Amino acid sequence: EDQVTQSPEALRLQEGESSSLNCSYTVSGLRGLFWYRQDPGKGPEFLFTLYSAGEEKEKERLKATLTKKESFLHITAPKPEDSATYLCAVRGDSSYKLIFGSGTRLLVRP
Amino acid sequence: GAGVSQTPSNKVTEKGKYVELRCDPISGHTALYWYRQSLGQGPEFLIYFQGTGAADDSGLPNDRFFAVRPEGSVSTLKIQRTERGDSAVYLCASSLGQGPGNTIYFGEGSWLTVV
């Protein structure tokens, strides 16, 4: 069964304090690993798609990396506006649906 | 439209009532998805449409839930005999096509509260 586990559940950082969020997954035939950002009361906002181990993508202070078992979302010198829940999801070769983790709630304090 | 549009944004209903939630996908997107998100959890898949047909409805929890997309654009999620456990955010999403290279974009969600 396809499964996604995210850690930590919550993370508090000081502004400028870099850190990483983890997404561990098991999936039959990875067709894509997705990172989304979700603000309170809003829908998930697409950040990145990674397709194969070794792939990396960057956007502003965020960098996503992928191995055969996990993905990391690295946040460099975060700002308070980076505070949100970050969701990881995978898509396997057995269907079109995304399987989501429970997310990491990030709070960046000024 | 510019993004996935969902109405209503909030709905409070009494236990046992019937509810309809509407989704207007991004123009030109043929794939449409419904997900449900409970507090503190990630979205859970409900149903996927490719065009007018439901290609995968394996996530619908029971026969009180039904969804349609009669013209291949707007979709309606229908919940009969609502229960308090149905309270959640119902998210609609769409993508240009069904292949893995197609980004899935989400709407803001319909917050359903059953009292």
**What confidence score (pLDDT) does residue B100 get?**
77
Chain A residues closer than 8 Å to B43 by CB? 44, 87, 98, 100
How far apart are alpha carbons A57 and A55 in whole angstroms? Answer: 7
Mutation pick from A96, A100, A102 vs chain B, by most beta carbons of B within 10 Å, is A96
Q: pLDDT tens for residues B16-56? A: 999 999 999 999 999 999 999 999 999 999 999 998 988 89
- The sign one gets for the Cα dihedral B80, B86, B91, B96 is negative
**What confidence score (pLDDT) does residue B2 get?**
81
Which domains, and CATH codes, for chain B? Answer: 5-97 (2.60.40.10)
Positions of chain A with pLDDT under 70: none
**Residue B55 and residue A96: Cβ atoms within 8 Å?**
yes
Superfamily for the A3-109 domain: Immunoglobulins (2.60.40.10)
**CA-wise closest residue to B34 among B85, B114, B110:** B110
Residue in the structure block whose two tokens are 């996908």: B25
